């Protein structure tokens, strides 16, 4: 056990107070006994006990008012009322006012100890809930993923599961800037492989003829520049994780080798004859539509199916706008720390602008916008004018885009369409009318009016 819990015994009868104090000390608690309401208040303010046994009849105070004051000082203080015979009504009042429980005098010692134990357990749970309510992110070892929306919750669960399946190949899909890199690292950090390397190759950044030798290595003389043997990433990542970024850009030759590697963990170095076997988990990522690449014959369909066993799709930021605020606050804090300054506040109107924007560049774009504001503006409060024009101008997104909807030849029922879009907006925002209105380009009142029109 850790340090003993601190209890307060507030009781003006000296005999009872001494009896309680002695027994509770013997039971292993640190006990402070006081005889008056004012001494009890000082105790709560200065010592902060976890639990209090309170006699409602004190010489200098009204027990109920005292109780309310205690709860204001410490919301998690567990108060057990100890009442004289015939004071049941007051005890019930006290429970309504926030006391945890009541016992009659003289309390049975076993009852008392059990009640104290349960009360302390309840306090631990209250405090745990308070922590969880404040927490906006998931911590995967040293990787922090911010967001508590249903979408991010599903992602976090997927990361947990996949991290445990040490060998499963993972396929991360999502638009640019949605957090594929971050999740790949989270999976690695959460898995048993975390003490082994996490190596990464970006298939777009490398000239085609180098991808294969980067991945699988080469023997001396395998090609003109190969003056000595070189190990590839697959070999160097042994025991760990290999992250293949932008796999849609992998040359076909390397794709064939990769498929074999995924199937039996074996490969040959370029120019080599012997098979090399390693224990590596592969995580692949793409923001491209691989189905199109397959149709164009630039991506092997057998490799696609092999990768697609455990797909994880990261939704674009505009589909979980409720995470914009926690993400923005997180980035402001993080960037301010990097810039060695106090984090500025985000004004409510700036937050509304951020929450109303569509974020085609997703989380990365959000981070970049805030970084720019922090670097260019010395201000202690970020306001809409500190944000780039394209995101703060109302309707900026809507105007220069082709209409996403085409009127079908047979026409539409505009009323039905409206109802359907309202339903979708509400579903996407967990029935938050303000945010749903923003998604529809309406004010909150206009949306309310239209909802009433549809009897919603």
Which range in 39-47, 163-171, 361-369, 370-378 contacts ligand ATP by CB under 6 A? 361-369
Which part of the chain contacts Mg ion (CB under 5 A), choosing from 180-188, 255-263, 332-340, 433-441?
180-188
Q: Give the largest CA-CA distance in the chain.
A: 99
Q: What one-character-per-residue DSSP string does 43-75 give?
A: HHHHT--SEEEEESEETTEEHHHHHHHHHHH-T
Determine, following the binding rule CB under 6 A, whether residue 176 of this chain makes contact with ligand ATP: yes
Task: Give me the least distance between CB of 217 and Mg ion, in Å please.
Answer: 24
DSSP category for residue 416: H
Q: Is 287 one of the binding residues for ligand ATP (CB under 6 A)?
A: yes
Is the Cβ of residue 177 or residue 356 nearer to ligand ATP in the bound state?
Answer: 177
Which of 107, 174, 217, 232 is close enough to bind ligand ATP by CB under 6 A? 174
User: Whose Cβ is closer to Mg ion: residue 123's or residue 180's?
Assistant: 180
Binding piece for ligand ATP, criterion CB under 6 A, among 13-21, 173-181, 251-259, 392-400: 173-181
N-terminal to C-terminal alpha carbon distance within the chain: 55
Alpha carbon 318 to its chain centroid, in Å, reads: 17
179 interface partner picked from ligand ATP, Mg ion, none, CB below 5 to 8 A per type: ligand ATP
Exposure of 206 in the CB half-sphere (CA atoms within 13 A): 21
Q: Which ranges in 3-141 belong to alpha helices (H)?
A: 14-26, 37-46, 63-73, 88-96, 109-134
Q: Exactly one of 33, 119, 147, 321 binds ligand ATP (CB under 6 A); which one? A: 147
Residue 145 lies near ligand ATP (rule: CB under 6 A): yes
Helix or strand or coil: residue 83?
A: strand
In whole angstroms, how close is the CB of 436 to ligand ATP at the nearest point?
A: 22
Q: Is residue 329 involved in binding Mg ion (CB under 5 A)?
A: no
What separation in angstroms does the CA of 405 have from each of 154, 316, 392, 411, 421? 30, 20, 25, 12, 12
Q: Is 181 in the site for Mg ion (CB under 5 A)?
A: yes
Q: Which of 340, 239, 321 is nearest to 280 (CA)?
A: 239
| Contact flag: residue 149 with ligand ATP (CB under 6 A) | no
Hey, how many other C-beta atoms are within 10 angstroms of the C-beta on 101?
17
DSSP-derived pairing of the beta strands 61-62 and 57-58: antiparallel
Binding marks (x or -) toward ligand ATP, 312..341, rule CB under 6 A?
---------------x--------------
Q: How far is the CB of 40 from ligand ATP (least distance, A)?
A: 45
| Partner whose footprint covers residue 444, from ligand ATP, Mg ion, none (CB < 5 to 8 Å by kind) | none
Q: Which window, 9-17, 92-100, 180-188, 393-401, contacts ligand ATP (CB under 6 A)? A: 180-188
Burial class (CB in 10 A: 0-12, 13-18, 19+), 24: buried
Q: Are 152 and 320 in contact (CB under 8 A)?
A: yes
- Based on the shown chain and the rule CB under 6 A, indicate whether residue 12 belongs to the binding site for ligand ATP: no
CB 363, min distance to ligand ATP, A: 3
Angle between helices 444-453 and 414-428 (to 10 degrees): 120
Stretch that binds ligand ATP, among 112-120, 141-149, 340-348, 416-424 (CB under 6 A): 141-149
Backbone angles phi, psi at 455, to 5 degrees: 60, 40
Q: Between the CA of residue 61 and those of 39, 54, 69, 280, what are the distances in Å?
A: 11, 12, 11, 70
- H/E run at residue 242: strand 241-245
C-beta of 37 vs 147, nearer to ligand ATP:
147
Site for ligand ATP in 223-282 (CB under 6 A): none
Verify binding: residue 238, Mg ion, rule CB under 5 A: no
Please, what is the minimum distance in Å from the beta carbon of residue 202 to Mg ion?
8
Q: What are the residues binding ligand ATP (CB under 6 A)?
A: 145-147, 174, 176-182, 287, 327, 363-364, 367
Q: What are the residues binding Mg ion (CB under 5 A)?
A: 180-181
């Amino acid at each position: 056990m850790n340090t003993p819990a601190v209890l307060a015994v507030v009781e003006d009868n000296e005999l009872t107070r001494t009896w309680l104090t002695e027994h509770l000390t013997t039971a292993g608690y640190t006990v402070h006994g006081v005889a008056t309401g004012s001494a009890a208040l000082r105790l709560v303010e200065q010592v902060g006990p976890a639990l209090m046994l309170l006699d409602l009849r004190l010489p200098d105070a009204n027990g109920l008012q005292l109780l309310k004051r205690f709860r204001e000082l410490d919301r998690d203080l567990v108060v057990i009322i100890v009442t004289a015979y015939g004071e049941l009504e007051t005890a019930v009042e006290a429970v309504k006012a926030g006391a945890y429980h009541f016992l009659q005098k003289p309390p049975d010692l076993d009852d008392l100890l059990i009640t104290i134990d349960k009360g302390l357990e309840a306090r631990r749970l209250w405090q745990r809930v308070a922590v969880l309510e404040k927490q906006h992110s998931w911590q995967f070892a040293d990787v922090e993923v911010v967001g508590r929306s249903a979408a991010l919750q599903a992602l976090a669960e997927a990361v947990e599961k996949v991290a445990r399946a040490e060998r499963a190949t993972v396929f991360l899909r999502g638009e640019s800037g949605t957090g594929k890199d971050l999740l790949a690292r989270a999976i690695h950090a959460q898995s048993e492989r975390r003490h082994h390397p996490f190596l990464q190759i970006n298939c777009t950044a490398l000239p085609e003829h180098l991808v294969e030798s980067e991945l699988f290595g080469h023997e001396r003389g395998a090609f003109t520049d190969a003056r000595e043997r070189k190990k590839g990433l697959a070999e160097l990542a042994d025991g760990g994780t290999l992250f293949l970024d932008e796999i849609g850009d992998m040359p076909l030759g390397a794709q064939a080798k990769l498929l074999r590697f995924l199937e039996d963990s074996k490969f040959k170095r370029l120019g080599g004859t012997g098979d090399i076997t390693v224990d590596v988990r592969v995580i692949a990522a793409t923001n491209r539509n691989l189905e199109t690449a397959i149709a164009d014959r630039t991506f092997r369909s057998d490799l696609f199916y092999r990768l697609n066993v455990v797909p994880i799709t990261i939704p674009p930021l505009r589909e979980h706008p409720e995470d914009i605020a926690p993400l923005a606050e997180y980035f402001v804090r993080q960037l301010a720390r990097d810039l060695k300054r106090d984090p500025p506040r985000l004004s409510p109107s700036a937050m509304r602008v951020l929450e109303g924007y569509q974020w085609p560049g997703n989380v990365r774009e959000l981070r970049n916008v805030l970084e720019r504001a922090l670097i260019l503006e010395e201000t202690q409060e970020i306001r809409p004018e500190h944000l780039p024009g394209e995101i703060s101008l109302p309707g900026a997104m809507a105007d220069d885009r082709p209409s996403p909807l085409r009127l079908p030849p047979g026409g539409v029922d505009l009323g039905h369409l409206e109802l359907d879009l309202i339903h979708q907006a509400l579903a996407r925002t967990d029935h938050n009318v303000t945010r749903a209105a923003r998604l529809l380009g309406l004010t909150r009142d206009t949306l309310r009016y239209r909802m009433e029109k549809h009897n919603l």
